[in-house]
C-alpha cells in the first residue's frame, strides 16, 4: 500500500523530473537529437550492399562457429559447409531483420541525465575505447591506465553535458584476472557517474553476478532488468567472416539473459576487409547480420546494436588510422545502412591519429563526429577523449571533446522553419527602425534555446586573449580538469550498499581514492 508521504514524495519527484527534463530540453542540444540529413549512399547503393551481404552469408558463411551456436543456428535453417563455415539462408536473415528489436533504452540512474533512446534517427554520443594508456601532458608521453583512471574519467564524464553515456574508456591494466577486471570495471562505472553506462565483460560467467551488483546499486532484485542502465560490449566477429569464440559465448549468454547486446564489428579496410570501401561495407554488413541472426535465434527480439564499424588502414604501413576522411565516410555509410534496416546502431567516431590534443586531433575528431551525427547514428562511441587511434586516452581531450561534440550536436539539431522563426515582422521593424536586432525581444528569448555556448573554447577578443596569457584550449582544459576532479566526488552509492557490494565482490577501488584530498588532482 502506498502511504500519503510516499505519494507526496512521488509527486515531488515527478515535478523535479519534469523540471529537469524541461531544463535539459531547453538547451539547443541534448541526447536524442534527430539526425539523418546526410545520406552518403543512394538507395540503390544500399540495396546492392544488402544483396552482396546476403550472398556472402549464403555462399561464404562465417568460420569458427562454436558447437553451441551450430546447434542453435542449424535448428533455424543454417548449415555448416565443407569448410566448417556456418552459412545462412536469405530467408533466415530477412526474418531476423523483421523480428529484431527496433529500439532500446539505456536508462540513466538520475533525473539529472537523460535516458538514451536508441533507434530511429536519434543521435547520442558516448565514450568507450578500452585504451591501455593515459596521456601525460607534461611529459608528452603515455603511461599505463589504471582502475582509478577509469573512475576519474567517469567522474569527469558525469559533469560534461554533451556526452550522454559513459562507456569503458580504459582498461585497468593492473587487473589481470578477468573476474577482478569485470567486477571492478562494473563498480567503477556505477561509482563514478549515474549516466547510462557501457562495458565489455572479459568472461560470460561474470555477467549474471554483475547484474546482482547492479540490482544492489538500484536497491532491489530485478530492478536492473526493469531499467537497464548499462549495455554489454563485445566483438563476436574476427574479420574477415569468422567468429571469435569468447565474445560469441558472451553474445549467446547476454541474449539468453535478454540484455542489451552492444557489440562492435570492426574489420580494417585493406587488412581484414577489402581496400574497396563498398566491399568493406558489404563484408561488415554480412558480419553484422550474422550476429543479428544469432541473437534473434537465441532470443527473438532481444536488443542488439547493429554496430558495424569499418576501420581504415593506412595502406602505406597497414596500420589502423582512426582519423581519416575515409573513416568518417565509412562510419556514416554504416549509420545509413542501419537506418535502411531500421535497427538501433552505433558507430565509432571522434577518433584521431594524433597523439595529443592538437589541431590535427581537433579536425579529425570534428569531421568524424559531425558526419556520424548527421548520418543519424544512434550511438556514436569512442566519441570523446581518445588519442593515437584508440591507443591512449586523455583527460584534457575528454574535456575539449565535450565542446567539440556540443558544436557537432548544434549542427545536427538543425533549423526550425515556420512563420514565427521566419521573422518577417521582426525584420521589418529592424530594417525600418534602428537598423539592428540587438534589443529585439526575440534575440533575448532565443539566446539560451537556439544558441550553444562552449565551456572552455575561447571566444574572447584578441586583446583580452593576450592579456589572459594567450592560452590555447589544452591549457584551459588542464585547468578545467583539475578544478572538476579535485572537488567532484559524487555520492552515487550509499555506504550501506557499498558495504554490501564490497562484501560480495573483490572491489579494488579504495575508499580513500573516492574522496577529495587524495592528492591525485
Set of cell numbers at residue 96: 531476423
Q: How far is the CB of 412 from its own copies (least distance, A)?
A: 8
Smaller CB separation from its own copies, 6 or 42: 42
Whether 493 and 159 have beta carbons less than 8 Å apart is answered as no
Closest CA to 122 of 296, 338, 286: 338
Q: Extract the runs of DSSP E, i.e. beta strands, from 382-502.
A: 386-387, 392-393
Smaller CB separation from its own copies, 327 or 498: 327
Residue identified by cell 558526419 is 371
Whether 281 and 275 have beta carbons less than 8 Å apart is answered as no
CA torsion sign for 170, 176, 182, 186 is negative
Smaller CB separation from its own copies, 228 or 288: 288
- Sheet of strand 133-136, all strands in order from the earlier edge strand to the far edge: 141-144, 133-136, 392-393, 386-387
Distance separating alpha carbons of residues 435 and 503, to the nearest angstrom: 70
Closest CA to 345 of 186, 116, 189: 116
CA distances from 308 to 66, 268, 281, 289, 330 (A): 22, 11, 9, 9, 10
Q: How far is the CB of 423 from its own copies (least distance, A)?
A: 3
Phi then psi dihedrals of residue 481, to 5 deg: -60, -45
Smaller CB separation from its own copies, 78 or 302: 78
Set of cell numbers at residue 350: 571522434
Q: How far is the CB of 398 from its own copies (least distance, A)?
A: 12
Q: How far is the CB of 220 from its own copies (least distance, A)?
A: 42
Secondary structure of residue 177 in the 3-state scheme: coil
Distance separating alpha carbons of residues 216 and 82, to the nearest angstrom: 49
Smaller CB separation from its own copies, 347 or 514: 347
Q: How far is the CB of 65 from its own copies (least distance, A)?
A: 14
Q: How far is the CB of 30 from its own copies (least distance, A)?
A: 13
Smaller CB separation from its own copies, 470 or 515: 470
Q: How far is the CB of 242 from its own copies (least distance, A)?
A: 7
Q: How far is the CB of 295 from its own copies (least distance, A)?
A: 22
Smaller CB separation from its own copies, 169 or 369: 369
Smaller CB separation from its own copies, 122 or 365: 365
Smaller CB separation from its own copies, 427 or 510: 427
Q: What separation, in Å, do the N-terminal and C-terminal C-alpha atoms of the chain show?
A: 48
Side-chain half-sphere exposure of 149, counting CA atoms within 13 A: 27
Distance separating alpha carbons of residues 96 and 90, to the nearest angstrom: 10
Q: How far is the CB of 308 from its own copies (least distance, A)?
A: 14
Amino acid at each position: 500500500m502506498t502511504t500519503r508521504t510516499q505519494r507526496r514524495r512521488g509527486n515531488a519527484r515527478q515535478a523535479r523530473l519534469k523540471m529537469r527534463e524541461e531544463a535539459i530540453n531547453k538547451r539547443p542540444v541534448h541526447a536524442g537529437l534527430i539526425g539523418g540529413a546526410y545520406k552518403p549512399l543512394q538507395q540503390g547503393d544500399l540495396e546492392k550492399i544488402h544483396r552482396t551481404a546476403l550472398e556472402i552469408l549464403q555462399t561464404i558463411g562465417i568460420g569458427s562457429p562454436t558447437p553451441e551456436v551450430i546447434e542453435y543456428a542449424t535448428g533455424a535453417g543454417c548449415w555448416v559447409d565443407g569448410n566448417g563455415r556456418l552459412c545462412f539462408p536469405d530467408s533466415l536473415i530477412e526474418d531476423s531483420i523483421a523480428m529484431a528489436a527496433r529500439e532500446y533504452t539505456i536508462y540513466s540512474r538520475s533525473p539529472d541525465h537523460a535516458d538514451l533512446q536508441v533507434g530511429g534517427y536519434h543521435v547520442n554520443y558516448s565514450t568507450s575505447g578500452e585504451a591501455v594508456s593515459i596521456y601525460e601532458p607534461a611529459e608528452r608521453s603515455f603511461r599505463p591506465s589504471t582502475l582509478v583512471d577509469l573512475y576519474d574519467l567517469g567522474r569527469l564524464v558525469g559533469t560534461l553535458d554533451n556526452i550522454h553515456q559513459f562507456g569503458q574508456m580504459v582498461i585497468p591494466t593492473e587487473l589481470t584476472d578477468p573476474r577482478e577486471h569485470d567486477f571492478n570495471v562494473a563498480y567503477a562505472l556505477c561509482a563514478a557517474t549515474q549516466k547510462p553506462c557501457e562495458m565489455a565483460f572479459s568472461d560470460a560467467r561474470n555477467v549474471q553476478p554483475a547484474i546482482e551488483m547492479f540490482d544492489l546499486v538500484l536497491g532491489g532484485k530485478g530492478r536492473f532488468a526493469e531499467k537497464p542502465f548499462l549495455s554489454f560490449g563485445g566483438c563476436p566477429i574476427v574479420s574477415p567472416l569468422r567468429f571469435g569464440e569468447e565474445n560469441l559465448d558472451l553474445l549467446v549468454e547476454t541474449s539468453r539473459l535478454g540484455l542489451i547486446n552492444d557489440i562492435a564489428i570492426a574489420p580494417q579496410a585493406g587488412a581484414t576487409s577489402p581496400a574497396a570501401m563498398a566491399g568493406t561495407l558489404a563484408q561488415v554488413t554480412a558480419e553484422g547480420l550474422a550476429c543479428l541472426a544469432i541473437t534473434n535465434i537465441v532470443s527473438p527480439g532481444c536488443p542488439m546494436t547493429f554496430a558495424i564499424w569499418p576501420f581504415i588502414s593506412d595502406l602505406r604501413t597497414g596500420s589502423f588510422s582512426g582519423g581519416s576522411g575515409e573513416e568518417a565516410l565509412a562510419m556514416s555509410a554504416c549509420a545509413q545502412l542501419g537506418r535502411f534496416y531500421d535497427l538501433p546502431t552505433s558507430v565509432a567516431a571522434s577518433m584521431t591519429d594524433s597523439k595529443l590534443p592538437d589541431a590535427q586531433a581537433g579536425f579529425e575528431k570534428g569531421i568524424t563526429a559531425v558526419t556520424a551525427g548527421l548520418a543519424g547514428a544512434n550511438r556514436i562511441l569512442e566519441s570523446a577523449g581518445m588519442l593515437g587511434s584508440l591507443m591512449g586516452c586523455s583527460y584534457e581531450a575528454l574535456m575539449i571533446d565535450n565542446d567539440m561534440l556540443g558544436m557537432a550536436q548544434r549542427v545536427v539539431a538543425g533549423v526550425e522553419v515556420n512563420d514565427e522563426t521566419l521573422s518577417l515582422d521582426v525584420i521589418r521593424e529592424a530594417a525600418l527602425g534602428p537598423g539592428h536586432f540587438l534589443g529585439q525581444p526575440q534575440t533575448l528569448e532565443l539566446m539560451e534555446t537556439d544558441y550553444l555556448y562552449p565551456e572552455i573554447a575561447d571566444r574572447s577578443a584578441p586583446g583580452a586573449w593576450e592579456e589572459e596569457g594567450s592560452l590555447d584550449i589544452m591549457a584551459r582544459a588542464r585547468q578545467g580538469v583539475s578544478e572538476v576532479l579535485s572537488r567532484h566526488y559524487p555520492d552515487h552509492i550509499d555506504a550501506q550498499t557499498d558495504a554490501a557490494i564490497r562484501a560480495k565482490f573483490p572491489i579494488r577501488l579504495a575508499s580513500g581514492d573516492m574522496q577529495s584530498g587524495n592528492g591525485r588532482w
